[in-house]
Chain A
Amino acid sequence: QKEVEQNSGPLSVPEGAIASLNCTYSDRGSQSFFWYRQYSGKSPELIMSIYSNGDKEDGRFTAQLNKASQYVSLLIRDSQPSDSATYLCALDTGRRALTFGSGTRLQVQP
Chain B
Amino acid sequence: DADVTQTPRNRITKTGKRIMLECSQTKGHDRMYWYRQDPGLGLRLIYYSFDVKDINKGEISDGYSVSRQAQAKFSLSLESAIPNQTALYFCATSDLSSTEAFFGQGTRLTVV
Contacts and interface: CB of A to CB of B under 8 A. Distances in A.
Q: What is the size category of the interface that chain A forms with chain B?
A: 20 to 34
Contacts of A90: 43, 101
A96 B103 contact: no
Nearest to A92: B99
Contact of B102 (A32, A46, A92, A103): A46
Interface in B7-41: 33, 35, 40-41
Interface in A91-106: 92, 96-103
A49 interface: yes
Interface string A26-53: 0000001010000001111110010000
Which one of A49, A88, A98, A99 has the highest number of Cβ atoms from chain B below 10 Å of its Cβ? A98
Contacts of A92: 99
A92 to B, nearest CB: 4
Contact of B40 (A8, A41, A49): A8
B99 A32 contact: yes
B50 A96 contact: yes
Contacts of A44: 43, 90, 101, 103
Contacts, number: 51
A100 B100 CA distance: 12
Interface residues of B, number: 22
Contacts of B50: 96
Interface of B is mostly: strand
Which one of A4, A97, A103 has the highest number of Cβ atoms from chain B below 10 Å of its Cβ? A97
A8 B38 CA distance: 13
Contact of B48 (A4, A32, A97): A97
A7 B40 CA distance: 10
A53 to B, nearest CB: 19
A43 B105 contact: yes
Interface of A: 4, 8, 32, 34, 41-46, 49, 88, 90, 92, 96-103
Interface of B: 33, 35, 40-45, 48, 50, 56, 58, 90, 98-106
